[in-house]
Amino acid sequence: MSVDSRSELDRAAEIAASLSEVRARIDRACAAADRPPDSVTLVVVTKTFPTTDIGILQHLGCSDVAENKDQEARLKAVELSHATPALCWHMIGQVQRNKARSVAAWADVVESVDRLSLAEALSAGAVTANRRLDILLQISLDPDDADGRGGVRAIELPDLAARVSALPGLTVRGIMGIAPYPGDPDVAFNLLESASLQLRTVLPDADRISAGMSGDLEAAVRHGATHVRIGGAILGKRAIVG
């Protein structure tokens, strides 16, 4: 056995162990919230980690991976394009309009849509690529306007949702939020949960709530998250903060 495949085996064992801990955390959080364990989908955040890690995750039964940079994600998606079963690629980072066409070619879900101009560019890209994209509208959960994370104010959500859902090539599936840190995640995710109710008065089927990261997944599950985005707790420390 080569040194390379030896370290690959070590890495696989390491990921398998942390993955099962995270799955156990999700199961416990669901039980505590009186929710069925399969009501929460684990999305593994693979930004900054190598494509080989994504291959390992796939062997361990992970179907959904998330990235936050167009170029890095596109290269990984191309490398893994023949993997079976096919992976579901989520874009969770802010997207510049001039990158939208590229994102539309590799992403299956874009979670960070917070303005109509971006949705229009994604729509054009999806139509050109003959693809459909699932869209989550990102809600700002910051208490003030000093927010660098992006996101639409909850009050603007119904209008944006109606406009985005009218665009060809896109399907609005729900919302995404990032709890401010420091801060109380229960307060943030409570706001997200009520935004979801609001959204469903306009789009009854748009019931996904993407919320919760390594540090706050329990609070997210308490407040109805259908998807949690977990990076560090599964793959370890990121070399670059992304």
Ligand X SMILES: *Cc1c(COP(=O)(O)O)cnc(C)c1O
Contact set with ligand X (CB under 6 A)? 45, 47, 68, 92, 178, 213-215, 229-233, 242
**Backbone dihedral angles phi then psi of residue 66, each to the nearest 5 degrees:** -130, 140
- What minimum distance in Å lies between the beta carbon of 106 and ligand X? 17
Distance CA 242, CA 240 (A): 6
The H or E element spanning position 197 is: helix 185-202
Comparing CB distances to ligand X, the nearer of 87 and 169 is: 87
Distance CA 230, CA 235 (A): 9
Beta bridge partners of 136: 174
- What minimum distance in Å lies between the beta carbon of 204 and ligand X? 26
Comparing CB distances to ligand X, the nearer of 61 and 232 is: 232
Q: Is 13 exposed, middle or buried (0-12, 13-18, 19+ CB in 10 A)?
A: exposed
- What minimum distance in Å lies between the beta carbon of 45 and ligand X? 4
* Residue whose CB is nearest to ligand X in the complex, by number: 231
**Backbone dihedral angles phi then psi of residue 89, each to the nearest 5 degrees:** -95, 125
Comparing CB distances to ligand X, the nearer of 50 and 232 is: 232
Residue 155: how many other CB atoms lie within 10 Å: 9
- What minimum distance in Å lies between the beta carbon of 183 and ligand X? 14
Encoded amino acid at 82, one letter: H
- What minimum distance in Å lies between the beta carbon of 172 and ligand X? 18
Comparing CB distances to ligand X, the nearer of 92 and 206 is: 92
Packing angle between helix 51-59 and helix 3-32, nearest 10 degrees? 60
Comparing CB distances to ligand X, the nearer of 223 and 229 is: 229
- What minimum distance in Å lies between the beta carbon of 70 and ligand X? 14
Distance CA 198, CA 137 (A): 12
Name the token pair of 199: 């959204």
Comparing CB distances to ligand X, the nearer of 6 and 181 is: 181
